[in-house]
Amino acid sequence: MTTAQILEKMIVFSEGNLHDIDHLIRVWTYAKTIGELEGLDSRTQYILETAAITHDIACPYCRTKYGNTEGRHQEEEGAWIVRDFLRGTGMDEAAAGRVIYLVSHHHTVTGVDGADYQILLEADYIANAEENHWPEENVRRFLSSVAGTESGKRLIREILLPGQEEADRTRAGQVCESGS
């Protein structure tokens, strides 16, 4: 399947839940953008975009089974749900395996073992920070401890800390001047 076909399949899977659909489209858009800016090869880009579209696939099931969408439940249940979802998409075993791995690790910020994983974390963070109005100190913490790609860091600043780069530079300049 093409990425557009996978997106449509995921929209059908979401059964009209506009919150879920808005979120997955947002994460997909940021993942696609960061992936392209970082110059990923086309196979990795396809894996990344498929994982971004399907990353929260376990949320409806977790709401019913656990009454919440805690990350660890999403990771546990996401693996088999996305495996089922990918059947019939024509994706080869290795690529499907990587998508399953990414979906079942997307709330884990340690052990990041590839650009696809790193970018998925960044894209999901931007979407969640926008949707939940996370405060500046949270954004700065993510920037210094989890964000990894240059394009991801740039987008995070441009979207979540707009106009602050100039202020940061000025502050840094004043520190330098006062220190000399």
Q: Reduce the DSSP state of residue 44 to 3 states and report it.
A: helix
Residues near 41 by Cβ (< 8 Å), separated by ≥ 6? none
> From its phi and psi, is residue 135 left (phi > 0), alpha (psi between -120 and 50) or beta?
beta
Instruction: Find the binding residues for Fe ion in span 106-145 (CB under 5 A).
Output: 124
By CB under 5 A, is residue 56 in contact with Fe ion?
Answer: yes
Binding segment for Fe ion (CB under 5 A), chosen from 44-52, 69-77, 137-145, 160-168, is 69-77
Please say which residue, 54 or 74, places its beta carbon nearer to Fe ion. 74
Cβ-based nearer residue to Fe ion, 23 or 98: 23
Site for Fe ion contains 20 (CB under 5 A): no
> Quick one: 45 or 74, whose CB is closer to Fe ion?
74
Stretch that binds Fe ion, among 54-62, 94-102, 113-121, 148-156 (CB under 5 A): 54-62
User: Which residues are CB-neighbours of 167 under 8 A, at least 6 positions away?
Assistant: none
Q: How far apart are CA 120 and CA 164, in angstroms?
A: 24
The residue ranges that bind Fe ion (CB under 5 A) are: 56, 74, 124
